[in-house]
C-alpha cells in the first residue's frame, strides 16, 4: 500500500483518506494493557494510533538502548496493525509530552558542551545514533512495507522554541537516511510565526490546538496553501501539576470543536485518547518563571481515563465521528453506564481470558519500617567531592541524592545555595530535619541551629523541565553551598536510585520484624503485604501520608503528594498477582498512619480546586 499527501487530501493507494487518530503513549501504559487501549480507540471510531518515542526511556545511559518490556515499540505497533489501524510515529528527538527532559537523555548535556535542539555537531551526532537504533523497528513497519506507519513527525513544535532551518533540514535528512519513506510532518500552534519557523517546505505542516478549530485551520491554510488540513494535536483536556487544580474541559464543547474540525474536511489526532500514567520518575515539569512539576497521573481528561474506562467525552466524540465515518458496534460493557471493560482482554501477554472484578477494597498495614539512613548501605555508595556535584555528574538520571558534610557552627548560621535548588532539599543536622528548600518557592537559604556534626541535604529531582529554554539543565545544589557566606567543602554524595529499589534494600526490609504503632517519621521506608484472590486494576490511596514514592511488587507507581490534586496512584492489574503481594512506601516527611488502601473501583484521585 502507498500513503501520500495530495493537493487536498491524504491519499491511501490513490484514494482520499481522512486520518482519525488518537494518542496513546506506549511508555505510559503497562504493555499488557496496550491491546485493550488500542481496541477501545477503534471502538470510538478511530482508524489510527499516534505515539511519541521517548528517547531517554530507551537510552538510560550512553552505552545502552532497550526495546524490552514496556519499551517494546515494535510490539506496540504490531498490535496497532492487528487491529487493522494505521500508526503515526513522532520520534522527536524532542517530544515535550510533559515527560522528563522532553524525552532528551540527561546524559547528553552532562558536560555542558552539547547543544540543545539546534545545528550543533554533538547534538546531531547523538540524534543520528538514536535514529539508527530506531531504524530496525520503524523502517519495516511502514505502510509501503506492509506495516501500519503512515506518517512520521520531525521534531516537535519547534516554532515555539527556535527558527533554525539548517537544523531542521539536517534532521529531516537523518530520518530519510535510515530508510523512512512515508511522508514527514511538522506540528506547531497556529499562532504568530510558529508554523513558518517550525517547519520546512518539504514537511507537511499540521496544527496543535484544542479550540476555535475553524480559525485555527484558516491560519494553517494561510501557512500552507495546498495539502490536507490536519490538527495533529487536538487538545481535548490538559495535564495536572502538583498543587494546582485538576484540569477538565466540557465534553460538549470539545465535541463541538471536533465537529467543526471534521466539517472543514480536516484530519485529526486526538491528544490524548488515553493519557495513562507517569510511572516511576518520568514526569516532566514546566518553568515559566515558577517551577511546576507534573503530577503522576496523566489522565488528561481524555476519552479514555487513566483507568482505561470510557468517559462522557468518549461517547460525545464517537457521536461526532460517526457523522463522518463508519464506527464499529459498541459492546454493551462500553455503553454509557457499563463497566468499561473489554471482557475478551486479560492482563496477560499470553492469553485473552475474561477478567473478574475484585469485590472489596483491601487495607494494607505497613508493619516493617526502616529509616533511610539505616538502609543507605543497601541502597548506594558514597563518593567525595570538594563541592556538591550535580545529579548529572554522579550519573543520576532521576530520584534523590543525599549530600553530607561535617560542620562546626557554635552559633548556627544561614545556609545558602549559590544559584538554585533543583528541585527540593530536606535539610538536616545530626539527623534532625530543620527545614525544606523548594525551587518552586525560589528558596535558597535557611537558618541553621548551633551544630558541631553532620549536615545533610536530601535533594529530590521532581522532574526535568520538558518545555522551553530550561530543557537540559542539570539537577542538584547548583552553585555550591555556603554558611554565612563561607563556602562549605569536603562533601560526600550518595545517589539514591529507586526505580527499581535495589534488591539488597528489599531484602533488608523483608527481614525486619513487624512493629506496632502508627506514626511514621521520615525519611523512612515502610513495607507491608496483602493477599488477593485475583489480579485486576487497583488504586493505592495513602491517607495521612505527605510526600514520597510507592511501589507494588517492585513496580514503581510514581510519586504521591498530599497537596493534590491527585489522591491515589494507579496500580495496573498486570502488576498484581493472585495470592501474596507487597507494598513499599518511601515517605519523606511523616505519616499519621501506617495503613494504605488498595481500592477496587477507580477513584482517579483528583481534588477540584
Tell me the backbone φ, ψ of residue 595, rounded to 5 degrees: -110, 130
Long-range own/partner contacts, residues 173-180 (CB < 8 A, 24 or more apart): 174/124, 174/127, 174/128, 174/131, 175/91, 175/131, 177/131, 178/131, 178/132, 178/134, 178/135, 178/138, 178/139, 179/135, 179/139, 180/138, 180/139, 180/142, 180/152
Give me 264's grid cell. Answer: 472543514
Q: Using the structure block, give the residue that is written with the C-alpha cell 552532562.
A: 110
Q: Using the structure block, give the residue that is written with the C-alpha cell 510519586.
A: 559
- Nearest to 505, CA basis, from 346, 372, 339, 322: 372
* Euclidean distance between CA atoms 286 and 470, whole angstroms: 9
* Structural contact between residues 11 and 150, judged by C-beta atoms closer than 8 angstroms: no
* Structural contact between residues 579 and 532, judged by C-beta atoms closer than 8 angstroms: yes
Residue of 233, 306, 440, 460 marked active site: 233
From the centroid of its chain, how far is CA 177?
Answer: 29
- Is residue 157 annotated as part of the catalytic site, yes or no? yes
In sequence order, what are the beta bridge partners of 538? 571
- Is residue 233 annotated as part of the catalytic site, yes or no? yes
Strand pairing report for 184-188 and 204-209? parallel
* Euclidean distance between CA atoms 333 and 338, whole angstroms: 4
Residues 6+ apart with CB under 8 A from 127: 93, 171, 174
134 dihedral zone (left: phi>0; alpha: psi -120 to 50; beta): alpha
Q: Using the structure block, give the residue that is written with the C-alpha cell 524490552.
A: 68
Half-sphere exposure of residue 315, counting CA atoms within 13 Å on the CB side?
Answer: 13
Angle between helices 251-263 and 213-223 (to 10 degrees): 40
* Euclidean distance between CA atoms 372 and 525, whole angstroms: 6
Residues 6+ apart with CB under 8 A from 337: none
Angle at 82 between CA 56 and CA 4, to 5 degrees: 75
Q: Can you give 543-554 as a three-state secondary structure string?
A: CCECEEEEEECC
In sequence order, what are the beta bridge partners of 426? 436, 458
* Euclidean distance between CA atoms 53 and 110, whole angstroms: 22
* Structural contact between residues 235 and 248, judged by C-beta atoms closer than 8 angstroms: no
Residue of 157, 172, 306, 587 marked active site: 157
Residues 6+ apart with CB under 8 A from 466: 96, 97, 98, 99, 100, 101, 102, 103, 284, 285, 286, 294
Cβ of 430: how many Cβ atoms within 10 Å? 13
Strand pairing report for 230-235 and 204-209? parallel
435 dihedral zone (left: phi>0; alpha: psi -120 to 50; beta): left
Q: For the chain, how big is the Rg over CA atoms in Å? A: 25
Report helix, strand and coil shares of the chain as percent, to nearest 5: 25, 30, 45
173 dihedral zone (left: phi>0; alpha: psi -120 to 50; beta): alpha
DSSP state of 282: -
- Which residues are part of the catalytic machinery? 157, 233
Amino acid at each position: 500500500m502507498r500513503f501520500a499527501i495530495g493537493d487536498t487530501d491524504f491519499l491511501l493507494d490513490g484514494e482520499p483518506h481522512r486520518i482519525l487518530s488518537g494518542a496513546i503513549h506506549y511508555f505510559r501504559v503497562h504493555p499488557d494493557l496496550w491491546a485493550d487501549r488500542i481496541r477501545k480507540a477503534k471502538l470510538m471510531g478511530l482508524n489510527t494510533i499516534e505515539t511519541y518515542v521517548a528517547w531517554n526511556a530507551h537510552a538510560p545511559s550512553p552505552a545502552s538502548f532497550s526495546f524490552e518490556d514496556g519499551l517494546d515499540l515494535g510490539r506496540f505497533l504490531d498490535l496497532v496493525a492487528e487491529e487493522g489501524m494505521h500508526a503515526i510515529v513522532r520520534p522527536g528527538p524532542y517530544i515535550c509530552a510533559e515527560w522528563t527532559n522532553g524525552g532528551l537523555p540527561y546524559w547528553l548535556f552532562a558536560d555542558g558542551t552539547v547543544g540543545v535542539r539546534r545545528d550543533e555537531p554533538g547534538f546531531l551526532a547523538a540524534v543520528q545514533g538514536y535514529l539508527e537504533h530506531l531504524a530496525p523497528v520503524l523502517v519495516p513497519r511502514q505502510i509501503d512495507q506492509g506495516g501500519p506507519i503512515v506518517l512520521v513527525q520531525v521534531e516537535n513544535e519547534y516554532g515555539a522554541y527556535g527558527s533554525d532551518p539548517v537544523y531542521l533540514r539536517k534532521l529531516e535528512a537523518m530520518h530519510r537516511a535510515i530508510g523512512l519513506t512515508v511522508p514527514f510532518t511538522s506540528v506547531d500552534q497556529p499562532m504568530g510565526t510558529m508554523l513558518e519557523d517550525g517547519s520546512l517546505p518539504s514537511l507537511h505542516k499540521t496544527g496543535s490546538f484544542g479550540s476555535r478549530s475553524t480559525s485555527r485551520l484558516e491560519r494553517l491554510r494561510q501557512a500552507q496553501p495546498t495539502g490536507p488540513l490536519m490538527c495533529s494535536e487536538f487538545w481535548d483536556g490538559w495535564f495536572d501539576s502538583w498543587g494546582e487544580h485538576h484540569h477538565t474541559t466540557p465534553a460538549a464543547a470539545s465535541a463541538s470543536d471536533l465537529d467543526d474540525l471534521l466539517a472543514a474536511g480536516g484530519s485529526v489526532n486526538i491528544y490524548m485518547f488515553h493519557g495513562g500514567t507517569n510511572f516511576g520518575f518520568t514526569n516532566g515539569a514546566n518553568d515559566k518563571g515558577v517551577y511546576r512539576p507534573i503530577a503522576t497521573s496523566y489522565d488528561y481528561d481524555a476519552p479514555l481515563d487513566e483507568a482505561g474506562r470510557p468517559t462522557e467525552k468518549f461517547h460525545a466524540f464517537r457521536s461526532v465521528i460517526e457523522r463522518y465515518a463508519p464506527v464499529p458496534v459498541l459492546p454493551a460493557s462500553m455503553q454509557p453506564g457499563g463497566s468499561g471493560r473489554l471482557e475478551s482482554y486479560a492482563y496477560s501477554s499470553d492469553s485473552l481470558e475474561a477478567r473478574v472484578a475484585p469485590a472489596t477494597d483491601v487495607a494494607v498495614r505497613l508493619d516493617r519500617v526502616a529509616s533511610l539512613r539505616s538502609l543507605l548501605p543497601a541502597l548506594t555508595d558514597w563518593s567525595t567531592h570538594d563541592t556538591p556535584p550535580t545529579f548529572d555528574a554522579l550519573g543520576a538520571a532521576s530520584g534523590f541524592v543525599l549530600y553530607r558534610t561535617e560542620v562546626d557552627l557554635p552559633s548556627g548560621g544561614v545556609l545558602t545555595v549559590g544559584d538554585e535548588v533543583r528541585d527540593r532539599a530536606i535539610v538536616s543536622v545530626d539527623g534532625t530535619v530543620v527545614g525544606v528548600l523548594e525551587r518552586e518557592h525560589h528558596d535558597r537559604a535557611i537558618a541553621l541551629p548551633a551544630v558541631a556534626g553532620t549536615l545533610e541535604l536530601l535533594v529530590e529531582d521532581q522532574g526535568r523541565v520538558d518545555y522551553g529554554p530550561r530543557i537540559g539543565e542539570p539537577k542538584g545544589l547548583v552553585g555550591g553551598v555556603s554558611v554565612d557566606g563561607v563556602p562549605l567543602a569536603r562533601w560526600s554524595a550518595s545517589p539514591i536510585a529507586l526505580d527499581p529499589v535495589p534488591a539488597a534494600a528489599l531484602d533488608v526490609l523483608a527481614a525486619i520484624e513487624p512493629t506496632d504503632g502508627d506514626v511514621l517519621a521520615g525519611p523512612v521506608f515502610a513495607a507491608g503485604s496483602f493477599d488477593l484472590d485475583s489480579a485486576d486494576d487497583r488504586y493505592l490511596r495513602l491517607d495521612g501520608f505527605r510526600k514520597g514514592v510507592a511501589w507494588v511488587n517492585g513496580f514503581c507507581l510514581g510519586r504521591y503528594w498530599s497537596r493534590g490534586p491527585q489522591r491515589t496512584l494507579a496500580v495496573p492489574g498486570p502488576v498484581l498477582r493472585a495470592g501474596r503481594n507487597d507494598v513499599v512506601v518511601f515517605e519523606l516527611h511523616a505519616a499519621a498512619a501506617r495503613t494504605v488502601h488498595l481500592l477496587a473501583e477507580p477513584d482517579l484521585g483528583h481534588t477540584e480546586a
